[in-house]
């Protein structure tokens, strides 16, 4: 177990958008953030994205998974090797399947391999313990969001909204003293965010994403599709709750008859509508929404979110945070918490029965 002094921790994240691996350093004692360090990004090639996309929805022994695991480990090792003078690393892996009430959760990649390759302790498999104890295993960033709210000096409840492949929301009351305290947090997946838009762009136009929302800006939203989308049982389910990337797979079929521009506009509106619907579950209306993930760079999505929520909506950069690296930084922070025996999830973030620490600590050969 680590001593209680602050350490430089490295965190990594490869999200459901399948764009690449983010890596970032945080100076922390696992409770407070003392500072942020260097960052790096390793994009996936089109061929690598195809391998990962083919493995989505599959479990450890399914065909195609072994190739995806090797790819994930290699890509992470490449980017993590760029960093020096770190005490510990957090490795999330690549989520291929997530079924917390069924088969569990599956993140491709083994931390033991990375610990051996990199020669430093690696914390990994953050979700399984939470799922075994009845939790959703997601989202995992809320404890870090609580630390961020303290770091920026927030004095009233606010919400962090991550618009990645799947959207999630963390409501934070920074007036409490610790994240696991009753009433400090509420977190849940809101619904699909960028994943359906990215899939549409690749399938129809051979592009990775709707950059700057340029295509959506020229289209019209089909409100009938949005109404049918919001009728999905997920939006009536009380949080905490989580989603798999493919839980709204039929959304693509619902826009199949629309033009490229109208389809992009409608899928963008769906992402905003999902977050706005989620705000109804918050204990109080947050003062503002701080947005991270790729969606914050889409002005159309941000405008739609502001219109639907009626709240101030800003990228996290407005408060001095890095929206490209926030999730990677979260796993650096969580790695230190795991190594120090501190909880990483609680009933209000994943629905687990009690505050619990997840994760496996793998040390390099010969380490004590």
Q: Which of 98, 215, 108, 217 is nearest to 168 (CA)?
A: 98
Both 161 and 192 in one domain: the answer is yes
Judge whether 55 lies within some domain.
yes
Judge whether 2 lies within some domain.
no
CATH number of the CATH domain containing 186: 3.30.420.40
Average pLDDT on 10-37 reads 95
Both 243 and 102 in one domain: the answer is no
Judge whether 97 lies within some domain.
yes
Distance, CA of 138 to CA of 162 (rounded, Å)? 13
Both 285 and 343 in one domain: the answer is no
Judge whether 367 lies within some domain.
no
Judge whether 230 lies within some domain.
yes
Write out pLDDT tens, residues 77-130: 999 999 999 999 999 999 999 888 788 899 999 999 999 999 999 999 999 999
- Reported confidence tier of residue 18, pLDDT bands at 50, 70, 90: confident
Both 160 and 209 in one domain: the answer is yes
Judge whether 339 lies within some domain.
yes
Of residues 4 and 188, which shows the higher confidence score? 188
Give backbone dihedrals phi and psi of 64, rounded to 5 degrees, phi first. 90, -15
Both 341 and 197 in one domain: the answer is no
124 torsion bin: left (phi>0), alpha (psi -120 to 50), beta (else): beta
Q: Which domain holds residue 236?
A: 153-319
Residue 90 exposure: Cα atoms within 13 Å on the Cβ side: 36
Both 350 and 262 in one domain: the answer is no
Give the chain's domain count. Answer: 2
Judge whether 119 lies within some domain.
yes
Average pLDDT on 188-194 reads 94
Whole-number pLDDT of residue 121? 98
Output the pTM of the full model.
0.92
- Reported confidence tier of residue 165, pLDDT bands at 50, 70, 90: confident
- Reported confidence tier of residue 244, pLDDT bands at 50, 70, 90: confident
Both 194 and 280 in one domain: the answer is yes
Both 176 and 278 in one domain: the answer is yes
Say how many C-beta atoms besides its own lie within 10 A of residue 129's C-beta: 19
Both 179 and 210 in one domain: the answer is yes
Whole-number pLDDT of residue 241? 86
Both 182 and 33 in one domain: the answer is no
Both 314 and 343 in one domain: the answer is no
Whole-number pLDDT of residue 243? 80
Both 301 and 213 in one domain: the answer is yes
Q: Quote the Cα angle for 235-160-89, to 5°.
A: 110
Write out pLDDT tens, residues 32-46: 999 999 999 999 999
Whole-number pLDDT of residue 9? 98
Average pLDDT in the chain: 95
Judge whether 147 lies within some domain.
no
């Amino acid at each position: 177990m680590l001593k209680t002094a602050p350490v430089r921790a490295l965190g990594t994240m490869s999200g459901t958008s399948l764009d690449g691996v983010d890596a970032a350093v945080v100076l922390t004692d696992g409770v407070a953030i003392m500072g942020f360090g260097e960052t790096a990004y390793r994009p996936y090639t089109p061929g690598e994205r195809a391998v990962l996309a083919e493995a989505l929805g599959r479990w450890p022994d399914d065909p195609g998974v072994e190739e995806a695991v090797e790819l994930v480990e290699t890509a992470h090792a490449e980017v993590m090797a760029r960093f020096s003078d770190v005490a510990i690393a957090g490795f999330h892996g690549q989520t291929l399947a997530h079924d917390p009430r069924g088969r569990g959760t599956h993140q491709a990649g083994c931390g033991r391999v990375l610990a051996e390759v990199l020669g430093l302790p690696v914390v990994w498999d953050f979700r399984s313990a939470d799922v075994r104890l009845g939790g959703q295993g997601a989202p995992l960033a809320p404890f870090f969001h609580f630390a961020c709210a303290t770091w920026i000096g927030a004095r009233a409840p606010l919400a962090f909204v991550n618009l990645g492949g799947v959207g999630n929301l963390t409501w934070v009351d920074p007036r409490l003293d610790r994240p696991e305290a009753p009433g400090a947090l509420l977190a849940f997946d809101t619904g699909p965010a960028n994943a359906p838009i990215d899939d549409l762009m690749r399938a129809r136009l051979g592009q990775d994403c709707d950059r700057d929302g340029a295509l959506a800006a020229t289209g019209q939203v089909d409100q009938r599709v949005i109404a049918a989308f919001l009728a999905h049982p997920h939006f009536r389910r009380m949080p905490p709750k989580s989603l798999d990337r493919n839980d709204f797979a039929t959304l693509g079929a619902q826009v199949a008859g629309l033009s490229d521009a109208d389809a992009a506009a409608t899928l963008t509106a769906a992402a905003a509508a999902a977050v706005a619907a989620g705000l109804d579950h918050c204990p109080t209306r947050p003062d503002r929404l701080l947005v991270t993930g790729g969606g914050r760079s889409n002005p159309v999505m941000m405008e739609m979110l502001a219109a639907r929520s009626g709240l101030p909506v800003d990228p996290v950069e407005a408060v001095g945070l890095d929206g490209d690296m926030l999730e990677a930084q979260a796993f650096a922070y969580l790695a230190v918490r795991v190594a120090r025996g501190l909880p990483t999830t609680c009933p209000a973030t994943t629905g687990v029965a009690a505050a619990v620490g997840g994760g496996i600590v793998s040390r390099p050969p010969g380490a004590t």
